[in-house]
Amino acid sequence: MSFRNFKMVDYVVFGRGAFNQLDEILAPRRKADAPMIFLVDHFFEGKPLVNRIPLRGKDKIIFADVTYEPKTTQVDALANSLKESFGTVSGIIGIGGGSTMDLAKAVSLMMNNPGSSADYQGWDLVKFPGVYKAGIPTLSGTGAEVSRTTVLTGPTRKLGMNSDFTPFDQIVLDPELTKYAPVNQRFYTGMDCYIHCIESLEGTYLNEFSKSYGEKALELCQKVFVAKDHWDDESDDQLMMASYAGGMSIAYSQVGVAHAVSYGLSYLLGTKHGIGNCIVMNHLEEYYPAGVKEFKYMVEKNKIDIPQGICKGLTDEQFDTMINVSIGMKPLWENALGKDWEKIMTREKLRALYEKL
């Protein structure tokens, strides 16, 4: 096809208190006595939100440890455990930030696809639809709620299961759920959205579809992190919609340098995605001068600490590992630098960039 036939999320509900409709939303999706599995960010263990989850029959809550981003081994272990316990399930419901939602998407797919999730890291390798899956973000910014990928760290690389079977069947966008997010975490995740917009809007893949969503997401990020002098309920509403629009923007384009370099940090050092993007963005004046200037202003205005020197003392072998992972993200580099990107971003230049971080 000349143009991407873009698969979107089937159902979207947005509004304060929308989480209260979850039981009603899931009811028609239940199959006999097969349970709904709620994968919940371990941050919520012992918190009031857990008591609001509408459990029925054999339904189960599993707290997902997302201290580190999802690994293929974690996905496989969860899917195999559920198959052994229940045979099949009615659905997988991911409640949390981007890592939890990615985990839910991946486990859903592996309930119906043979082998290991590592076999499906790449583009359009997934053969069969997963079980029903719903995403409920409690942080805003990653765009995981709308994306056609689930980013996983595998044995040899960090790469998503990019496929038309990956997007959620349902998302529940309830800004009330993001109210108590830790300030630093909220900023790092919000900046993931901001950086999506900068990379999409300044990339070579840009078209009016991506531009329309990207410009709106950028405008909302600027309202929240630049124009406002305090955080309020409207900020949560706006950032949740920025995340949605930012995710839609990259569906028809791509991200760029910050994400490509951040993937290497995550694979080697376990650096979480949002903070990794911020660490890299701090040093990308050469590629996104206006965006980096505004980014640094937002960091200062919101009194956020961006770690420095995380690559200090790494060996040549470790640098090579990060470079290999990063260079492997070919669509990201092509979007950022054009078809001749390999002549621009050499291994030596990428090594020098990593040394600054």
Q: Average pLDDT across each block of 10 residues of the chain; the chain has 357 residues. List them in order.
A: 86 98 98 97 97 98 94 98 98 98 98 98 96 98 96 90 97 96 95 96 94 98 96 98 95 93 96 96 98 98 95 98 96 96 97 98
The pLDDT score that the predictor gives to residue 6 is: 87
The pLDDT score that the predictor gives to residue 27 is: 98
Q: Are 140 and 236 in contact (CB under 8 A)?
A: yes
Encoded tokens for 222:
């600027």
Cα gap 140→97, rounded to integer Å: 7
The 8-class DSSP code of residue 286 comes to T
Query: What type of residue is 45?
Result: E
- pTM surpassing 0.85? yes
Q: Are 224 and 190 in contact (CB under 8 A)?
A: yes
Q: Are 196 and 216 in contact (CB under 8 A)?
A: no
- Burial of 194 by CB count in 10 Å (0-12 exposed, 13-18 middle, 19+ buried)? buried
339: enclosing H helix or E strand: none
Q: In the chain, which residue ranges form alpha helices assigned H by DSSP?
A: 22-26, 72-86, 98-110, 183-201, 208-222, 233-251, 257-269, 273-281, 289-301, 316-327, 330-337, 341-344, 347-356
The pLDDT score that the predictor gives to residue 156 is: 86
Give Cα 314 to chain centroid, integer Å: 27
Give Cα 139 to chain centroid, integer Å: 10
Neighbours of 241 (CB within 10 A): 17
Cα gap 135→176, rounded to integer Å: 15
**Nearest alpha carbon to residue 103 among 114, 88, 92:** 92
